[in-house]
A and B are shown apart, each in its own frame.
Chain A
Amino acid sequence: MKVQISVNGEDTSADVEPRLLLAHYLREQVGLKATNIGCDTTSCGACTVLLDGEAVKSCTLLAVQAEGQSVTTMEGLEGASDGTPTHPVTAAFHAEHGLQCGFCTPGMVMSAVSLISHDDDLDERKVREGLEGNLCRCTGYHNIVRAVLVAAGKDPDAEQKAEAESDALRTAPGFSRGESAEEAQA
């Protein structure tokens, strides 16, 4: 099947198998390798990209489902083309040491971009809940959360202090409540 997808502002097209995953389309057909595949079950989020501005897991979408739409990967963010992380999110990940091995990073960054675009008053709890679909095995999330808060214009020290002093329930391990903290309180 022929697909036409705008990737990072450039038109791309290819004749693909209907079953081709969007992640493989981006990596193999377009040659953009930042987007990684970390699992088979839509659990880890390493493959997260924006589809028409919304965060999606590109290992769970077929390339043909993105037909006629626009995809943004980490390579499409400000500063990426000349190798300088000047986008507010990538700059904050750099400054806050929000990455170690780097494998979850492209997906984590794109999730953060999406999260910030949907909420102009993020706090630590909202960031943690908002990144629930992206796994990182290296950082323990501490500095990722700080980086996202910084990119959202918040003071991470103040936010972490406020969260530590709050009595908000954290989602229990193995026991997702399936609702946001806000909904739970409401």
Chain B
Amino acid sequence: MSILGTRVVRTEDPVFLTRGATYTDDLTDERLTGALHLTLVRSPVAHATIASIDTSEALAAPGVVAVVTGADLDIDPALLFPGANKAMTRPFLASERVRFVGEPVAAVLSEELYQGEDAADLVDVDYDPLPVVIDPLASANDETLLFPEAGTNTAAAYNHDEEPDAGFFDGCEVVVTRDLVNQRLAAAPLETRAASAFWEGDRVTLYISNQNAQGGRDEIAGWLGLDKDKVHVILPDVGGGFGAKIGSDPEFGLVAWLSRRQGRPVRWNESRSENMTGMVQGRAQRQTVTIGGTREGKVTHYRLDVVQDAGAYPRLGTFLPMFTRMMAPGTYDIENVDSRARVVVTNTTSIAAYRGAGRPEATAAIERAMDLFAAEIGKDPAEVRKLNVVSPDKFPFTTKGGVEYDSGEYAKAIDLALSESGYAELRAEQKARRERGDVRQMGIGVSSYVEITGGGAFAEDASVEVHADGSVTVLTGTSPHGQGHATAWAMLASEHLGIGLDKITVKHGDTDLIPSGGGTMGSRSLQTGGIAVHQAAGELVDLAKQRAADLLEASVDDLEVDTDNASITVRGVPGSKSVTFADLAAAEQLKVDTTWDGKKPTFPFGAHVCVVEVDTESGKVTVEKIIAVDDAGPILNPLLCEGQRHGGIAQGIAQALLEEVVYDEEGQPLTGTFADYGIPSAAELPSFDLVEMTTPTPINPMGYKGIGEAGTIGSTPATQSAVIDALSHLGIRHIDMPLTPLRVWEAINAASEASS
């Protein structure tokens, strides 16, 4: 029986559930013995020039070995995203100007951790305040420049050269437009950022908490002016990433540099308060949607304008609008689509990827637009969606967003979600509550989504080796941080070889062992790294058959794998001679290195229905149900796949209802701790209702698509729509996220004032 598609429990877990995983701060590598602790002094102001930094008192404090400022550095400020305005570089320690609260200005190295925290308070920095710009729309006016030498706050622009065509919507019977906020979020992995470094001669070894060792190596080597082979990056266990651990952080480069300067190992593990300003954040788009079509409900025109907040120093946030524009039309077959985007800097924490990274923003926009359109023509939002989705006979379908959707059955997904939810009964219950004038009103939100996975790097390497003792080592360039690749990739190898999971070790995240790899991001891993392992194991079987042919005196074509015995045997000849993979490995190394290149991304899709109750007196929202149809093709391990969907759905609901990074006008973060930033607990969420649907992709031999971000992409608009739907009888058409009790209560109050 095939192991593929079965609910295999994780091989990672026995260690995680007994002595615990080994994160960067847990390392006991003896080469880190005697490491100095790094404590960073961070700017308490959002925008200022630095008049002076006095480190003398800190330097004299107990246990302090060094206090380093920007003046001591010999590494140049770095451009953290290649496509951004070249003047918008970030220093490793700010010495002239700070541009956001939390920007590092000095580094304290101490023998013990608490000594460093004490001494950091003694570094005296004199700031001369500058005007602060927090609002990206205000930033676009270029009145206050963050980088005067750039002459603009615009870091990048897409399709922004010409004025939009004023006649674009001519001929539409109905046109609706709306400004939307896709608010700034903190990824908030439970493990904050961490790094440890030591040098051996002219070569540095860096342990970092990250999603891609190889990319991190390349960036750090570039910053320090080293050849790549002089930088060895190792990722220990990583306590969550959600996109915010893509790309190397400048702090990692600083840790390596400080270790070389001091001639001692250095360890750094930031606090949560540091993390909430220092680690990249996500989303942060201002959008304007305009949608047009017929009174009957056919959408013919859609326009999306995006202003992307990049934060103070442009990073991957500069790229997000590319994905947003690409996925702008969503699941819909819209004849005319127009989009543009502008990326601006503000005096805030840098923006980069957060679960979905540009695609949730696209889906939120088009789904809100669909609801607004449906409300305008007085039709059921689910019906309007079904009327406009791409029909199954049109695949592969080239969208007006400029991408080719591989496979999809969008209307079927909507129907599945609706029927599982008992949509008609829900609408009847909603009607009854409205007629009764219940305090607790019900809302139903429907979302239809398609996203792009493996959208960046389509290729991945893998290596599979069987050893003489019958054990197997799999090397992968993907980089799990909770996803369970050790289990999943072992299943793929086991399927070919018939060797048990207990004998298969999956290794990742070590640039000496695995020099090339794209890491884990963008839901790419299974369709790239997983397929590469599948291919490598298949090629290893071919190699084994070639070697076994002589031994077994049979033609290669007549050989097959006896998966019960992990051996090669002659097909159809019971009791024939056989040779095990282990025996073949004992005679000669039995190893395959391969590269899989799918050459294209895949497009998972689905539909979510969210049911909420809204207390109209308090504005309090309760999620009663969420039904998720997420179709990512065939499922390798349902247990792991469901886990990804659960986590994604929770983060999606959290954006809709709860989470937002907030700054005051001076650029002070008001959500700088977990006491202020609203990550949901178990008490605020229901269990989730998952519905299966399987539409393979033709892009790879297994039909696999990505699943890591789907839950987030589908659940956010469904939840937001549900809350607004609960209040639609009051005349409410839109409320920006997060739909906190205050915001909902204010909307209800404004609506009742308007009607009275």
Bound-complex Cα distance A85 to B14 (A): 6
Given A102-B16, A138-B647, A172 and B620 contact (CB-CB distance below 8 Å):
yes
Tell me, in angstroms, the Cα distance from A132 to B684 when the chains sit together. 9
Taken together as a complex, chains A and B put the C-alpha atoms of A35 and B25 apart, in Å, by 11
CA distance A46 to B190 in the complex (A): 8
Question: In the complex the two chains form, is A100's CB within 8 Å of B483's CB?
Answer: yes
Residues of B within 8 A of A80 (CB): 17-19
A133 to B18, CA, bound (A): 22
A97 and B19 contact, CB distance less than 8 A: no
Q: Is B707 an interface residue (CB 8 A)?
A: no
Is A5 in the interface zone, CB < 8 Å from B? no
Set of chain A residues within 8 Å of B647, measured between Cβ atoms? 100, 137-140
- Cα–Cα distance between A169 and B440 once the two chains are bound (Å): 11
8 Å CB contacts to A: which residues of B109-132? 113-114
Partner of B13, one of A33, A94, A172, A175: A94
Please judge, given known A-B contacts A139-B643, A142-B687, whether A99 and B682 are in contact too, CB under 8 Å. Answer: no
Within 133-157 of A, Cβ neighbours of B (below 8 Å) are at 133-145
Interface stretch, picked from B566-574, B671-679, B695-703, is B671-679
A88 vs B623: C-alpha distance when bound (angstroms): 31
Contact call B682/A145, Cβ cutoff below 8 A: yes
Interface flag for B6 (CB, 8 Å)? no
Fill in one digit per residue for B595-613: 1 if any A CB lies within 8 Å of its CB, else 0.
0000000000000000000
Query: In the assembled complex, how far is the CB of residue B442 from the closest CB belonging to chain A, in whole angstroms?
Result: 12
Query: 1/0 per residue A119-132: CB within 8 Å of B?
Result: 00000100111011
Are A102 and B237 touching (Cβ within 8 A)? yes
**B685, CB-defined interface residue at 8 Å:** yes
Chain A interface extent, by class: 35 or more
In A15-70, which residues have CB < 8 Å from any B CB?
A: 17, 19-20, 24, 27, 33-36, 38-44, 46
Looking at the assembled complex, report how far the CB atom of A184 sits from the nearest CB atom of chain B, in whole angstroms.
12
The SS class assigned to the B binding surface is loop
Closest CB in chain B relative to A50 CB, distance in Å: 16
Closest to A109 in B: B17
A38 x B191 contact (CB < 8 A)? yes
Known: A135-B190, A175-B620. A144 touches B682 (CB 8 A): yes
Q: Across the interface, which residues of B come within 8 angstroms of A139, CB to CB?
A: 643, 646-647, 650
Q: How far is the CA of A94 from the CA of B238 in the complex (A)?
A: 19
* Minimum CB distance partner of B10 in chain A: A97
Chain B proximity of A59: nearest CB distance (Å): 10
* Chain A residues, CB < 8 A from B639: 97
- The contact size tier of chain B is 35 or more
Residue A104 is within 8 A (CB to CB) of chain B in the complex: yes
A27–B687 Cα distance when bound, in Å, is: 34
Contacts A17-B114, A129-B683, A172-B621 given; indicate if A101 touches B14 (C-beta within 8 A). Answer: no
Kindly state whether residue A170 has any CB partner on chain B within 8 Å.
Answer: yes
B residues 619-662 near A (Cβ < 8 Å) are 620-625, 639-640, 642-643, 646-651, 654, 657-658
Name the distance in Å between A114's Cβ and chain B's nearest Cβ: 15
Contact status B650-A141, CB under 8 Å: yes
In the complex formed, the residue of A with least CB distance to B681 is A132
Is B555 positioned at the interface, with any CB of A under 8 Å from its CB? no
Chain A, Cβ-Cβ closest to B239: A103
Q: Is B752 an interface residue (CB 8 A)?
A: no
| Nearest chain A CB to B264 CB, angstrom units | 18
Alpha-carbon gap, A100 to B19, bound state (A): 15
Name the residue on B nearest A35 (C-beta): B20
Minimal beta-carbon separation of A79 from chain B (angstroms) = 7
Using a CB-CB cutoff of 8 Å, which residues 390-414 of chain B contact chain A? none
Where the two chains meet, the residues of A that have a C-beta atom closer than 8 Å to any C-beta of B are: 17, 19-20, 24, 27, 33-36, 38-44, 46, 74-75, 77, 79-85, 90, 93-95, 97, 99-106, 109, 124, 127-129, 131-145, 160, 163-164, 169-176
Q: Which 9 A-B pairs have the closest CB atoms?
A: A34-B20, A140-B650, A103-B239, A101-B482, A100-B482, A43-B674, A140-B646, A172-B620, A85-B17
B interface residues, Cβ below 8 angstroms from A: 9-10, 12-23, 26, 28, 113-114, 188-192, 237-240, 242, 271-273, 481-484, 615, 618, 620-625, 639-640, 642-643, 646-651, 654, 657-658, 673-675, 678-689, 711, 738, 740-742
Chosen A-B contacts, 22 in total, with CB atoms closer than 8 Å, are A35-B20, A36-B191, A40-B271, A41-B675, A75-B19, A99-B13, A100-B240, A100-B482, A102-B12, A103-B23, A133-B681, A137-B188, A138-B240, A138-B482, A140-B648, A141-B650, A144-B682, A163-B687, A172-B618, A173-B684, A173-B740, A176-B683
